[in-house]
Structure 1
C-alpha cells in the first residue's frame, strides 16, 4: 500500500485490536508511514469532539505508535490531538503545553501544516485561560500559513477558532465575519458544520438575535446527533438550554440542561459540565429556588477556578452576587464583584464589566441610593448600546432608580423602553418585572387603572411560564418568586370596593393560593418520578433516588423507639445526615422531573361566582389572604361576598400563632395537668385564643352570627390555627359553629364536584401500629374496626406499607392510627409510621386513592410547611394529591387516650347503626369535640383535630 488508506476509520479500529508490536508491523508493511499515520491521526483528532472516552484510548495508542515508528509528523499530530482532548476535558494548562510541544516539534522537522494546526489547537486553552490576545495571534498566524499552503479546509477550521475567540473577546461582529469565511471554506466538509453552527449561535445570542440563534443551535444538534457526535451535541444542547433560560422558557431550559448534563457526565467532561452547572444555577434562581441555586453555584465555582475557566468563573461570581442581593445579603457581594471585575478587565471584556456595574447599581438601590444607582446605570448603558438583552435589564434598573428618586415620569419612560426591547426579544421574565415596576410608577402617580392593567398583564406572563414547568416544586417556587405582583393587584382592586372589583380580587387571590396542589389534584401536572426511566443515566438516577429514600427511612427509624416526652435525643450528626440526604434526593427528583412533560398547562382556579355558590344554606366561607403586610378576609355567604381589610399585620399574626402554640406545648408536657395547675394553664391558653379571635374573627362576626358552618381557607401562618378553639370571652367557636377548612376555595370546589360514592357500602379499612408510647392504638383499631364494620383490619406487624396501601387505595373510608412525623425543615419526609417503614408524602404523590375520608389518628398529621404561593407541604398535601376527598388530621402532638375517645365519638355520631352516615362529617366532628370539651376543658386535649376538604 502507498499513500493514505482508503478507510482510516477501519484501520484505526484494527490497530486498537492489535498488540503494540503487531501495530508497528502492520504500518511498516503497508509503506508510506507518514501518509498512513497522518490519515489515522485525523480520525483520532476528530474523536475529541465525538467521544472523549474513545479519544483517550485512541490517543494513547496513536502516540505510542508514532513514537515507535519514528514519524515526527505523526508525533506532532499526536500531541496537538491530545491537546484538543485535554482542552475538552478542562485540562487547559496541559492542553497548552502539548500544543506548544507539537508546534516546536513540527517546525523543527519542517512539517508546516502540523505546526499551523498545533497553533490552532492552542487557541482553545489560551481562550479559556483568558489569554485572548495570544489566542488571536496564534489563530492569525495559523490561518495565514494554511491559506498560503493552499489548505482551504484547514484555513476554515482556523477561522472557526478565530470566531470563537473573537466572541470571547467581546467582538461578536468580527466573530461573525470569521464564521462566514469558515462556512464558505467548509461547505463540502459536513463533519465541521455542527461545530460551526454551535459557535455561530453563541454570537447571535450575544447580539440578541435569538430566533436565528435557536435555528443555529437546533441545526447543529440535529446534524451532530445524526453523526453520533455526542460531545459536541452536548454543547449544542447546553446552548439551547441557556437560550431558553434567557427568554424565560424555563421548562425548555430545564429540559435541555438535564439532557446536556447527562451527555457530559457520560463523557467524563468536567470543564463543560462545570460551566453547565453554573448556568443551570441561574435557571434555578429564575425559578425562585434561590437556596438551591446558591448550592449549585458554590459547587461549580471552585471547579471553574481549578480549570482556569476565567470568563466562566467571572460569570458565576456575578450570578452568585445577584443571588445574594435578591436574598437581601448585600454585605457578602463586595469581593465577588471585585474578583469578577478583575477577571473581565484582564480579558478586556467591556460588556461583562458593564454587567458588574449594573449589579453594583442594584446594591445601591437596596441601600436606597437611587441617585448613585442611576449614575452607574447611565454609564453602563453607554457600553451596552449594542446589547439589547442587557439594555432591557438596564432599563428595568433605571425604572427602579427613578422610582427611588421620586421621578415617576422617568420610571415610566425607562420601563416602557425596556418593555419594547423585552417584547421584541421575547424575554418573558423581564416583561413581568418591567410591567410590575411600571405599575408601581402608575400607582404612585395616581393612575390606578393603568397600574391594574400592567399588573394584570404581568400576572398573565407569570401564569404562562408557571403553567409549563414540569414539577409542582418548580411551579410553587416560581409563583412564590412573583407573589408580590398578585398581592399588589389584590390590594389595588380592593381599594375600589365595588362588587366587580371584589370578584376580580378574589380571583387573583385564588390564582396565588395552593395552585400547584390544585394542579396535582386535577392532574394538570404529573408526578412522574416512578415512571419508567427514559435512558441508562436516568435508570442510575432512579437507583440513587431509591437508595436515598431507603437511607432517609433508616435514619428516621432510629427514632422509632424514642419516648414521646422527648427524653431520648437523636445521635450526634443525625439531623445533618438527614438534611444532606434530603438535599441530594431533592436534586435527583428535580433532574428526573426536568425531562418529563406536563399533563396540561394548569388547572384554572375557581371563579368568584362558583365560589359564592358554595356558600349557601347556612354555610359561610372565610378566605384569608395576605397582601403584602396586610391580612384580609373574603367572607362568602348567601351567594355573595364581602371583604374585611387590615385585620392585622403579618408580624402580629405570626406572633399570635407562636404564642398560641407555646401555650399548647406547655399543656402537653408530661405531668403538666395536675389539678392545681390545670386552671392556670387553661386561663393562659384562653387568653391567647381570645387574642387570636380578636384579630381573625371578631371583625367578621356580624356576617357570621346566623350561619351554621364556617369553611376556613387559611393563609400563611393561619394554617396552624385551631379555628374551632378560638374564644370570644364567652365561649369557643365550636360551641356556636361547625368549623372545617380547605387549602383553597378552588380545591374545595373541585372536591365538591367529585363523586363520593356510597359511603354506606364503600370498602372500609382500619389499620394501626401500637407501641409502648401509644398502647391505646391497639384498642382504637379494634374498636373503630368494629364500629365501621371494616372490611380490612390491619394491626401491628400486619400493617405494613404494602398491605395498608393495597387495601386502602380503593377504599371509601380509611382510618390510620399510627405515630406521625413532621419536620418543618424537611416536610416531604413527613409521614406516618407503619409496621415496616414510614409512609411519606413522597410515597403518596405517586399513589391514587379514592377515599371520601381518611383519618390520620396520630401526632401532627395535619401540619405543613408553607412554601411559595401558600403551598402547604405535609401529609395533607400528599393525601389530597393522591385523590382523597377529605381528611381528619391533627395540628399538634396528641394524647393517646383523648384521641381514642374523640375518634370513638366521632364515628358513633357520624354513622348510624346500619353503618350509613346520618349527618355531615363536620357536624359529627363538632359534636364529638363538644363531648370531649365537657370532660377535658383544655383545647390541647379536644381541639387538635381538624376536618379538611369536603365536609
Structure 2
C-alpha cells in the first residue's frame, strides 16, 4: 500500500509477487489444513494477477513472466495441469520476447536465471504423458544464443553487406578499441608463457597475471558494448526496416517453434538421435527416429551418472597407468556401466551396424566420449557412425547450409589451411602433423613463427578446411578466453567468433581440451567450439581432454586419409579411431589415446575433394 500511495509502481509490483511467493511457501508447509491452503493460494493468485496487470500497463517485462510463472506453480500445486501449462507457456513466451532484445553473450546469463520456468514446463509435460511436448520445450531453450546467432545474425550480416551499409562511428571506434585490447592481451599472454624468472628477474609474473586479468575484464566489457551498438543500428529506410524486421521475426519464429516433426525430417531410416536431460536428480533420455519416440526416465539416474563420470575422468587424468592392463579393465567396466545407463534403455531403437547415431548431450554429459561407451564386447564407435550436436534443432540449420552451398566452381576456388605450432618445441610432432596433412590435402601449411593469428584471420574466409595443430586450453573460469596457442599469442573464443567461416566445411582443433566448455543457461556451451560454430563452421573435430602428441598425429593422418578416399567426415573419424583401438599390442588401444576427439556438426563428405575430382 505504501508503494502504491507513493506512485512507486515497480516496487509495488515486485512487492506483490514477493508476497504471493511467501503465501505459496506457507501453503506448501506440511500439516497445513486444506481450507487454509486453499485460502492462501487464492490470495496468492489474486496478488499475481494484480501484479501482471500492473506490469503490462507499465511495460515491466520481467514481472510479467514472474507473475505467470508463479500462477503456473499455484495451478500445478492444485493439480490443475491445463491452467498450469497455460501460464508456464505465457511465462516462456514473455522470456523469449525479452531474449530477442538481449545481445548474443548475455542470453545464457539471462536464461540461467529463468531456466526454472523451462524445467517446470518440461516436468509438467512429462507428467501429462506428452513426451513430444517435453522434448519441444527442451529444444526451444537449448543453446538458444548460438541458434539465434546462426539464424538471425547471419541474416542481418547478409542484408548489411547487400545494402552497403555504412559502419556507425560508435561501432567502428569500439571495434578498434577491441582490437587494441586484444593485442594487449596477446602480448601479456605470450610474455606469461615464455617467462623464465632465472633469465628475466625483472619480469614479475604476478604483475603480468594482473594485467592479463585487466585485459580480460575490458575485453568482456567492449564485447558487450559492441553487441549492443550493433543490435541498435537503424536501417536506411522505413521500407528496409520493415523488410528486415519481418525477416528477423521469421527467423526468430523458426528458432522458437521447434517440434519433433522438424527433427524427424532430417533423420534417415537408419539414424537414431539421443537427446539427454537432467532435472532434480532425474535422468531423461529422448530417443528419436524417423518413425518413433521413446522416452526413458531414471528417477535417481543423475547421482549415479555423476558418480561414474567422476571416476572415469579421474582415470583418464591419472598419469601412472599408461599401458597397464589393470587400468584398461577399470576403464572398460566404467564404460560398460555408462553404456547400461545411457544407451541400453534405447537399445530397441539402435540402428543397424554402421548406422548413424547423433548425440545431444546435457550438462556434464558434454564431457563424456559416448563413442567410447562399451556394450561388453564392442565400443559404440565400432558399431555406429557417431556425431554430436549442441541442440537437435541444428539439424535444420545444417541442412539449409548444405542446400545453399552447392556451387562447385566456388568450392574449387577455396583451399585448405593448415597451421602447426609446437609452443617452443614442447609439442614435438605438430610440425610433422601439419606438413603431412597439408601435403595430403594440397593446402597451405604454416609452421612455427608463420602460424599467426593475423594470418588465420586473413586467410580463413577463403579456406574450406582449417586444421590447427597446437596447444589448447579450456578456461572454464572465463570461457571467452579458452584458446589455442599460435605464434603471436592465444587465439581465444573472441577471436574465433569474429572469423568468417561461412564457407568452411571443417575446422579441426588438434590440441588439448579444445572441446571443453562451461555450461551456461539453456545448456549453452560457452567456449572455443561454440565460437567456431557461431563463426560459420559446418563441422568441428575437437578434444575432451589433454591429448598425447604422437597418437594424435597418427589419428589425424588416418582421419584425413579416409576423408580423401571419399568417406564422410563422421565415417572418416570412426575409421581413424578404430584403426588405433584395434592395435591390440599397442598402448594406443586404450580409450585415452583415441577417444578424446569427437565430431560436432555436419557429418557429410568433403565437397572440396568431391568437386576437385569431378
TM bucket normalised to smaller: 0.7 to 0.9
**What's 1:636 paired with?**
288
**What's 1:487 paired with?**
119
**What's 2:270 paired with?**
618
Q: How does 1:574-589 map to 2 (within 5 A)?
A: 575-589=209-223
Q: How does 1:206-217 map to 2 (within 5 A)?
A: none
1:933 maps to which of 542, 567, 581:
581
**What's 1:550 paired with?**
183
| In structure 1, distance between residues paired with 2:283 and 2:216 | 33
1:460 maps to which of 63, 80, 93:
93
| Cα displacement string for residues 587-637 of structure 1 (whole angstroms, at most 9, x for unaligned residues) | 232233333326845643343211012222311111112345433121111
1:513 maps to which of 142, 158, 171:
142
Secondary structure of 2:117's counterpart equals helix
- Whether 1:433 aligns to 2:66 is yes
C-alpha displacement of 1:878? 1.3
Cα–Cα, structure 1 residues 562 and 751, in superposed 2: closer, same or farther, change >3 Å? farther
C-alpha displacement of 1:889? 1.0
1:859 maps to which of 505, 509, 512:
512
Does the 8 Å CA contact 2:271/2:351 hold for their aligned counterparts? no
| In structure 2, distance between residues paired with 1:462 and 1:507 | 16
**What's 1:90 paired with?**
none
Cα–Cα, structure 1 residues 419 and 507, in superposed 2: closer, same or farther, change >3 Å? same
Q: How does 1:368-767 map to 2 (within 5 A)?
A: 381=1, 384-385=4-5, 387=7, 388-406=9-27, 407=37, 408-469=41-102, 471-497=103-129, 501-524=130-153, 534-535=168-169, 542=175, 544-560=177-193, 571-572=205-206, 575-597=209-231, 600=248, 603=252, 604-605=254-255, 606-646=258-298, 648-666=300-318, 669=319, 672-673=321-322, 675=323, 678-704=324-350, 706=352, 708-755=355-402, 756-757=405-406, 763-767=415-419
Cα–Cα, structure 1 residues 697 and 578, in superposed 2: closer, same or farther, change >3 Å? farther
Secondary structure of 1:441's counterpart equals helix
Secondary structure of 1:482's counterpart equals helix
Which 10-residue stretch deviates more, 448-457 or 687-696? 687-696
Does the 8 Å CA contact 1:443/1:451 hold for their aligned counterparts? yes
| In structure 1, distance between residues paired with 2:311 and 2:432 | 35
| In structure 1, distance between residues paired with 2:26 and 2:485 | 58
| In structure 2, distance between residues paired with 1:701 and 1:613 | 22
Q: How does 1:348-387 map to 2 (within 5 A)?
A: 381=1, 384-385=4-5, 387=7
| In structure 2, distance between residues paired with 1:783 and 1:857 | 14
| Cα displacement string for residues 155-182 of structure 1 (whole angstroms, at most 9, x for unaligned residues) | xxxxxxxxxxxxxxxxxxxxxxxxxxxx
**What's 1:32 paired with?**
none
Cα–Cα, structure 1 residues 945 and 760, in superposed 2: closer, same or farther, change >3 Å? farther
| In structure 1, distance between residues paired with 2:270 and 2:68 | 42
**What's 2:32 paired with?**
none
Does the 8 Å CA contact 1:488/1:627 hold for their aligned counterparts? no
| In structure 1, distance between residues paired with 2:361 and 2:195 | 33
**What's 1:244 paired with?**
none
Secondary structure of 2:230's counterpart equals coil
- TM-score with structure 1 setting the length: 0.54
Cα–Cα, structure 1 residues 832 and 383, in superposed 2: closer, same or farther, change >3 Å? closer
2:472 maps to which of 803, 820, 828:
820
- Of structures 1 and 2, the larger Rg is shown by 1
C-alpha displacement of 1:873? 1.4
| Cα displacement string for residues 518-576 of structure 1 (whole angstroms, at most 9, x for unaligned residues) | 12222437799xx987457x77655553343223222322354599xxxxxx9446555
Does the 8 Å CA contact 1:396/1:418 hold for their aligned counterparts? yes
| In structure 2, distance between residues paired with 1:789 and 1:548 | 36
Q: How does 1:117-156 map to 2 (within 5 A)?
A: none
Secondary structure of 2:559's counterpart equals helix
**What's 1:811 paired with?**
463
Cα–Cα, structure 1 residues 544 and 764, in superposed 2: closer, same or farther, change >3 Å? closer
Secondary structure of 1:816's counterpart equals strand
Does the 8 Å CA contact 1:612/1:640 hold for their aligned counterparts? no
Cα–Cα, structure 1 residues 433 and 650, in superposed 2: closer, same or farther, change >3 Å? farther
Cα–Cα, structure 1 residues 629 and 527, in superposed 2: closer, same or farther, change >3 Å? farther
Cα–Cα, structure 1 residues 582 and 728, in superposed 2: closer, same or farther, change >3 Å? same
| In structure 1, distance between residues paired with 2:195 and 2:582 | 32
Does the 8 Å CA contact 1:816/1:856 hold for their aligned counterparts? yes
Gaps of 5+ in 1: 1-380, 564-569, 913-917
Secondary structure of 2:286's counterpart equals strand
- Whether 1:783 aligns to 2:430 is no
CA RMSD of aligned residues (A): 2.7
Which 10-residue stretch deviates more, 459-468 or 775-784? 775-784
| In structure 2, distance between residues paired with 1:761 and 1:645 | 50
Does the 8 Å CA contact 1:722/1:946 hold for their aligned counterparts? yes
Gaps of 5+ in 2: 28-36, 159-164, 197-203, 233-243, 604-614
